[in-house]
């Protein structure tokens, strides 16, 4: 297996695309007291957009800043900014999600 530093830039972008979807919808669930960890919510991504601004180097740390400017009526809009260790914005993310309270099993 190759080390992250030895992986080509296309593969680094693919990994970032996968990682950018993890927990992004959680930003829109927090105002409603919901979390993936409680098992009280079902959700689905309705759309997910990602813009690359700079090369990605996964052998280094990155900061993923997420927020949800709107959440209600069973949907949420989420944004993310991914920064490299030196503070360079390497990618921006936007996602609309569907969230529903999970049905309790009898």
Is residue 77 over pLDDT 90? yes
pLDDT at residue 32, as a whole number:
83
Is residue 2 over pLDDT 70? no
Is it true that domain 4-101 has CATH number 3.40.50.2300?
no
Stated length of the chain: 106
pTM of the model as a whole: 0.84
Question: Has 86 been annotated as catalytic?
Answer: no
Please pick, among 20, 68, 71, 95, the residue that the annotation labels catalytic.
Answer: 95
Please pick, among 9, 35, 45, 65, the residue that the annotation labels catalytic.
Answer: 45
pLDDT at residue 5, as a whole number:
57
pLDDT at residue 88, as a whole number:
97
- pLDDT cut 70: percent of the chain above it: 92
Question: Has 73 been annotated as catalytic?
Answer: no
Phi, psi of 6, rounded to the nearest 5 degrees = -90, -5
Question: Has 95 been annotated as catalytic?
Answer: yes
């Amino acid at each position: 297996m190759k080390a992250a530093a030895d992986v080509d830039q296309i593969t680094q972008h693919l990994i970032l695309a996968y990682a950018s979807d993890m927990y992004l919808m959680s930003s829109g669930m927090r105002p409603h007291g919901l979390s993936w960890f409680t098992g009280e919510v079902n959700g689905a991504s309705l759309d997910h957009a990602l813009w690359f601004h700079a090369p990605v180097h996964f052998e280094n740390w990155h900061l993923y800043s997420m927020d949800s400017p709107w959440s209600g009526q069973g949907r949420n809009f989420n944004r993310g900014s991914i920064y490299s260790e030196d503070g360079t914005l390497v990618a921006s993310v936007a996602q609309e999600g569907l969230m529903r309270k999970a049905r309790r099993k009898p």
